[in-house]
Amino acid sequence: QVQLVESGGGVVQPGRSLTLSCAASGFIFSNYGMQWVRQAPGKGLEWVAIIWFDGSDKYYADSVKGRCTISRDSSENTLHLEMNNLRAEDTAVYYCARDNHGGTLDLWGQGTLVTVSA
């Protein structure tokens, strides 16, 4: 069925790196832009990054710019988020989402929890 499944979350020490993955299925992955959105415990949604359908353009929130890299592998129908120099404030559930209708997110994964703690 049409779905997104994130993986790669876990507990990581401050300053370390982590790469999240999102496996897409049930739709033509290469036709859609993809985004990462995060939600700190008990807080609201925060946009993190977007990659164009063909990977030609990427944008990042100021809070992660320079520390995160979004990428995609259309041969594997997979989205990635490489996060470096992690901080306590990066602790959140990270969702991948499909970008449709020119910027809205019509399909979300279940999320993967990243905890940054010593």
Partner 1 sequence: DIQMTQSPSTLSASVGDRVTITCRASQSISGSLAWYQQKPGRAPTLLIYETSTLETEVPSRFDGSGFGTEFTLTISSLQPDDFATYYCQQYTNSSWTFGQGTKVEIK
Site size toward partner 1 (CB under 8 A) is: 20
Q: How far is the CB of 92 from partner 1 (least distance, A)?
A: 13
- For partner 1, the closer of residues 30 and 104 by Cβ is 104
CB within 8 Å of 26: residues ≥ 6 apart: 1, 2, 3
Helix then strand count (H, E) for the chain reads 0, 11
39/84 with CB nearer partner 1? 39
Q: Which of residues 98-117 bind partner 1 (CB under 8 A)?
A: 101-106, 108-111
How far is residue 111's CA from residue 95's CA, in Å, rounded to a whole number? 4
Of residues 4-63, which lie at the interface with partner 1 (CB under 8 A)?
A: 35, 37, 44-47, 50, 59, 62
Q: For residue 78, what are the contacts with CB-CB under 8 A and spacing of at least 6?
A: 21, 22, 23, 24, 72
8 A C-beta contact, residue 76 and residue 47: no
**CB of 2 vs partner 1, minimal distance in Å:** 12
Binding site for partner 1 (CB under 8 A): 35, 37, 44-47, 50, 59, 62, 95, 101-106, 108-111
